[in-house]
Structure 1
Amino acid sequence: MRKRTAIAVATGVVTCGLLVPATVFATDALTNSSSSSAQAVKVKLSGNQWWLTGSVTIPGAKPGWKLEFDVKDGAVPQIYQGRTTVSGKHVTVTPDTYQGGEFNFGVDLAGKQTSYELTNFKLDGKPVDVQGASWKEGGSTPTPSPDPSKPPTPDPSKPPTPDPSKPPTPQPGGELKPGETWVSDKSLKMSAEFKDWGTSGQLDFTITNTGTKDLASWSAAYGLEAWLQPGDSWGDASATVQKELKRLLLTGKAPLKAGASAKVSVATTQPGPDGRPPVDAGKPAAAWRGATPFIDAAAYPTPDLAQISKDTGIKQFVLGFVVGDTQGKGLPRWGSDALTPAQHMAQQIADLRKAGGDVAISFGGENGHELAVDHKSAQELAKTYQGIIDRYNINKIDFDVEGSVQTNTAANKRRAEAVKILQDNAKKSGKALHVSLTLPSLATGLVQDGKNVLKSFTDAGARPDVVNVMAMMMGQSVPDMGKYGDAVIMAGEHLHQQLKDFFPNKSDAELWRMVGITPNIGKNNGDGGQGVGDKGVVSVADMKKIEKFAADKNIGMLSMWSVGRDQQCKNGAVQFDNACSGAKQEKYDFSKAVAQYTKEWTVGK
């Protein structure tokens, strides 16, 4: 089956400033440089007892500049942007690929260091005359009064009384707990709102100056959840991720007047479970409904499962497809790198379950990275599968194995072993888990590659409840392209015979309960192309005939690809299309035919 994707979320890394304390002392130096990168360079240094930051602004610079400096005294800075090489106390920084003319660096002094000096600044090999490129507590740099680097000595006779309504403010150099905030001035109030759209999200921040004085500069920080990956930002501040401190830093782009507010938004992506709690999607059904058509969960707009169920009579659906990220890191995704299994489909599943329905989730599909390929061990693969099972509280999973991955012996072995781990763990915990295996088919049943995938299951001791044939696009194996529905039934009959070789101890009735049939509704690709004229079509009448066959044989699963295509094409066109069937029909005619199949069984048995 084909995986359809219509949503794309742009993400990226944002170049921005590092933390600047509320009260700082800084000296700017503007020099005329003849470097190849720019004609003018601006270097800024600032610091206090906890934190020292520096920034170099190169107006109009293109990526490729090189900044060098020496650390005369103190620890080598922690560089948060750019690529850093350190030789002794000589630091060289070059920009990341996305960086232009701004570079920011910082060092966490942890409140212990009393002296810090940076010297010998060079840009593209040419000296940069920087004044104030050193920080010393009580040194030559002008120190405001009171000195922010020297907190007042507490009176031991009068211990401070903690305010229970105000949690301790983290120091600027420290990390934050998830959701915790920090602001650079006590007059600042910060609020954060997270909008979770499942496939992506957005952090919205409001920072208000509640004081009576304007703030020439300001900053704030937000503790990041481990599963959240910030991307592009927009608004009144720049934003950067400080991984070492587990937080997102916001640096104001302009002064913040008394009584005024600054607003910042940051796009996010959610890369898979990664320790996130399960979504509130309700409880799964105990019984497995034999009528379970596929739905493209990556389609746009997101399918409204409860409404579709109401309109069609279908109670359960198979949602496809969960795949790996395009970088091959094994992070699960819905349909593409941009769609992540965080909250996606959670509300739709919950609404369906409230109406008495349920879902299975299918891993794989025709397109995308296969998780079994990306993972290098069955244990890690099983962990990823289990993460999705736990996230949506499901007890029904499908593995759609097609395309080149069918011939990947190592991946097939890992997948099968991972399923065995899942089934064993479910049994130990007293939970039910229904497993179906969806494989390409000809009218003559499974091809050898499909048989090999099934054999990998039996060799590993994994137990598929259903082997589901994709009786679609069967080409020259179809005896009569004008009777495509009969060829679908033929595929199911041949599968039943083939299953006897794998499960010789099962009765005919038990083997029929292992048979799944999934036609491609309407127009099918035929013989390597579009077929001949209006032939190669599964009609609504064919679907009704297939349902009667399924009921007569009491098969385990009757499905179709897909509910999103269950409508007539524009002007009644007979064509293979992702958004319509290419058959003459009213909307949801095929789904309503499948819904007539009312067989059920207990999950996992």
Structure 2
Amino acid sequence: MSRIRPATVSRFAGRRLSLPRLAASIVGMIVASASVFAAVVMPQLAPPISGAAAAQQWFAGYYDVTLESAEQLARSALEQTTGGAVLAFVVAAGDDDCTPTWGKAYTLDDAARLFELDRRVERMHREGTPVAVSFGGAINTELAAACADAESLAGAYRTVLDRYRLDVIDLDIEGDLLADTAATARRAAAVAALQAERRADDRPLDVWLTLPIAPYGLTPEGIEQVDALLSAGVEVAGVNGMTMNYGTDGTVASMSALSIDALTALAPQLADAWDRHAVDLPPGGVWSLIGATPMIGRNDVAGEVFTLDDARALNAFAKEHGVARMSMWSLNRDQTCGSNYPHPTVVSTGCSGIEQGGERFAALLDDGYSGTPGGRALDEGDGDVIADDPKTSPYPVWSSQMFYSSAVKVVWNGSVYMSKWWNEDGPTPDDPTLDVAGSAWSYLGPVLDSDTPFTLPQLPAGTYPDWSVSTLYNQGDRVMLDGSGYEARWWSQGQRPDRSVLDRDYSPWKLITPP
């Protein structure tokens, strides 16, 4: 999937697809060769329709973890998503650095510290929500290209799997990486080894392959990616087609019609691949191996717009055929662009580019998709509640006698909350009589065993004078209290500097954070 930052990136830059060109392309391939690829492009008999059982039909929209930071992302749409989430994208820290990162922008520890990703993923697990991580994407260096061998690559994958307690991964392979045979071989070997480890421990690992797709199905390079995994003995849960960016300029057919053509062509390609490798199809047949991911609203190709009606049509087709997995790019974009956005015809990472009239693409695409990967029971309700203790809690324990500014985090009844606006002496953060809109607090997730106790930054003794209740302080004065430094924002006397930790609006002090 593309991530447009700062310039638009297309999976098929410069490609334009029209019906005459598509027909000519198909005829040319048939005349030139009677190979397997020609048979794949023009299948003689479509696989029978059965598909995944309802319990195995699941929805999880892609969520770009790197788009925002700190409190903005921590209280973002991920907590309000319909269905589950595929967190994107884990890539290498550098061209030759096998360390997994989020989009090369954040380490895994950064993501936990800045926007509570570990906590939010654990919340999804405990609420029984499907969650997966996608490796790769359209930009940056994919781990399989950066890691020197299959063993180190498996170790990088394992780090992510263990940290987020995952049993579903998504391998997003596109662009130049499709033709990187060395990376393809390393990836297949590493994933096969991980599945063998999990199988020995009686733990599943579903592996989904996400690939570019055209109205005639997978490209030859895409088919080779499928073959590589199957040849290595990987149990492929399915192939997710990127039903987007076809290169039509919006003149050939609706995006839903093109997507339905693409999925219809994909089915016999996968049936043929499974047959070539002597792998049995699932009980539901080939359609239970298929996923679909449209790019909602404006696509990267000018003129291509996936509308709300397209979402309804694609969902209806998917349900009729038993398509196992539905997704979308992306949850971050599932809203109408605000009136201050000056370029409504330019693809945005934060909105769909079309008027949604209060509807959400996620709700339309996941209609009927209430199952789970493989039909497995998820970890709903799993995990111990850790008792509130000011000495061990990762944030201050909530008190009705304190003042809280927007974006302040607290602990209450074993959970972490973030304030949405300045408040004091209000209902408890977990007040069951208030809905999300009415509460001053957003629930982020449970307190974790891995959390470290909340502490204020400490300065060397004597760095600044100790604060005194009787001293008159002016703007810019600096003091110390209990080892922490504070700077006066305006004139004050007798007001404790440490109140500023929770009340950033009205305290005359601000905490000094060491560089």
1:2 and 2:15 aligned: no
Q: Contact 2:4–2:347 at 8 Å: present in 1 too?
A: no
| Match of residue 326 from structure 1 | 94
Q: What is the CA–CA distance in structure 1 between the aligned matches of 2:126 and 2:194, rounded to whole Å?
A: 27
1:538 and 2:315 aligned: no
Matches for 1:207-218 after TM superposition, within 5 Å: none
Matches for 1:576-595 after TM superposition, within 5 Å: 576-586=347-357, 589-595=360-366
Q: What is the CA–CA distance in structure 2 between the aligned matches of 1:586 and 1:323, rounded to whole Å?
A: 36
Q: Contact 1:566–1:591 at 8 Å: present in 2 too?
A: yes
One-letter code aligned to 2:2: R
Q: Contact 1:473–1:524 at 8 Å: present in 2 too?
A: yes
RMSD of aligned C-alpha atoms? 2.6
Q: What is the CA–CA distance in structure 1 between the aligned matches of 2:74 and 2:265, rounded to whole Å?
A: 33
In structure 2, the CA distance between the partners of 1:350 and 1:433, relative to structure 1 (3 Å rule), is same
- Residue 384 of structure 1 deviates from its aligned partner by 1.0
Deviations 1:52-108 (A, max 9, x none): xxxxxxxxxxxxxxxxxxxxxxxxxxxxxxxxxxxxxxxxxxxxxxxxxxxxxxxxx
Q: Which has the higher strand share?
A: 1
Q: Contact 1:324–1:337 at 8 Å: present in 2 too?
A: no
Q: What is the CA–CA distance in structure 1 between the aligned matches of 2:331 and 2:213, rounded to whole Å?
A: 20
Q: What is the CA–CA distance in structure 2 between the aligned matches of 1:305 and 1:519, rounded to whole Å?
A: 26
| Match of residue 515 from structure 1 | 290
- Residue 569 of structure 1 deviates from its aligned partner by 2.4
- Residue 603 of structure 1 deviates from its aligned partner by 3.7
Q: If you compute each CA radius of gyration, which structure gives the higher value, 1 or 2?
A: 1
1:375 and 2:116 aligned: no
| Match of residue 554 from structure 1 | 322
1:503 to 274, 279, 293: 274
Q: What is the CA–CA distance in structure 2 between the aligned matches of 1:376 and 1:604, rounded to whole Å?
A: 36
TM-score using structure 1 length: 0.49
- Residue 485 of structure 1 deviates from its aligned partner by 1.5
TM-score using structure 2 length: 0.57
In structure 2, the CA distance between the partners of 1:346 and 1:538, relative to structure 1 (3 Å rule), is same
In structure 2, the CA distance between the partners of 1:602 and 1:542, relative to structure 1 (3 Å rule), is closer
Matches for 1:378-527 after TM superposition, within 5 Å: 378-476=150-248, 480-504=251-275, 505-506=280-281, 509-526=284-301
Q: Contact 1:522–1:582 at 8 Å: present in 2 too?
A: yes
Deviations 1:435-466 (A, max 9, x none): 11100111211111111111111111112101
Deviations 1:381-427 (A, max 9, x none): 11110111011111111100011011000100110111100111110
One-letter code aligned to 1:484: M
Q: Contact 1:538–1:583 at 8 Å: present in 2 too?
A: no
- Residue 596 of structure 1 deviates from its aligned partner by 1.1
One-letter code aligned to 2:320: D
- Higher relative contact order (CA closer than 8 Å, sequence separation 6+): 2
Q: Contact 2:213–2:241 at 8 Å: present in 1 too?
A: yes
In structure 2, the CA distance between the partners of 1:602 and 1:403, relative to structure 1 (3 Å rule), is closer
| Match of residue 335 from structure 1 | 103
Q: Secondary structure at 1:361's aligned position in 2?
A: strand
Q: What is the CA–CA distance in structure 1 between the aligned matches of 2:359 and 2:128, rounded to whole Å?
A: 20
One-letter code aligned to 2:186: R
| Match of residue 491 from structure 2 | none
Q: Contact 1:290–1:557 at 8 Å: present in 2 too?
A: yes
Deviations 1:97-149 (A, max 9, x none): xxxxxxxxxxxxxxxxxxxxxxxxxxxxxxxxxxxxxxxxxxxxxxxxxxxxx
- Residue 597 of structure 1 deviates from its aligned partner by 3.1
Q: Contact 1:288–1:600 at 8 Å: present in 2 too?
A: yes
Q: Contact 1:321–1:362 at 8 Å: present in 2 too?
A: yes
List runs of 5+ in structure 1 lacking aligned partners.
7-286
In structure 2, the CA distance between the partners of 1:363 and 1:496, relative to structure 1 (3 Å rule), is same
- Residue 350 of structure 1 deviates from its aligned partner by 2.0
Q: Secondary structure at 2:240's aligned position in 1?
A: strand
| Match of residue 62 from structure 2 | 294
Matches for 1:141-160 after TM superposition, within 5 Å: none
One-letter code aligned to 1:558: M
| Match of residue 411 from structure 2 | none
Q: What is the CA–CA distance in structure 2 between the aligned matches of 1:360 and 1:602, rounded to whole Å?
A: 10
Q: What is the CA–CA distance in structure 1 between the aligned matches of 2:242 and 2:197, rounded to whole Å?
A: 29
Kindly, what percent of the aligned residue pairs are identical?
Answer: 29
In structure 2, the CA distance between the partners of 1:348 and 1:577, relative to structure 1 (3 Å rule), is same
Q: Secondary structure at 1:399's aligned position in 2?
A: strand
Q: Secondary structure at 2:85's aligned position in 1?
A: strand
One-letter code aligned to 1:541: D
Q: What is the CA–CA distance in structure 2 between the aligned matches of 1:470 and 1:567, rounded to whole Å?
A: 21
One-letter code aligned to 1:328: D
Q: Secondary structure at 1:509's aligned position in 2?
A: coil
| Match of residue 242 from structure 1 | none
- Residue 301 of structure 1 deviates from its aligned partner by 3.9
| Match of residue 41 from structure 1 | none
In structure 2, the CA distance between the partners of 1:342 and 1:420, relative to structure 1 (3 Å rule), is farther
Q: What is the CA–CA distance in structure 2 between the aligned matches of 1:422 and 1:458, rounded to whole Å?
A: 14
Q: Which has the higher helix share?
A: 2
- Residue 578 of structure 1 deviates from its aligned partner by 2.0
Q: Contact 1:292–1:559 at 8 Å: present in 2 too?
A: yes
| Match of residue 119 from structure 2 | 347
Q: Contact 1:289–1:315 at 8 Å: present in 2 too?
A: no
Q: What is the CA–CA distance in structure 1 between the aligned matches of 2:337 and 2:197, rounded to whole Å?
A: 46
Q: Secondary structure at 1:488's aligned position in 2?
A: helix
In structure 2, the CA distance between the partners of 1:578 and 1:462, relative to structure 1 (3 Å rule), is same
- Residue 561 of structure 1 deviates from its aligned partner by 0.2
Q: Secondary structure at 1:322's aligned position in 2?
A: strand
Question: Size of the alignment, in residue pairs?
Answer: 316
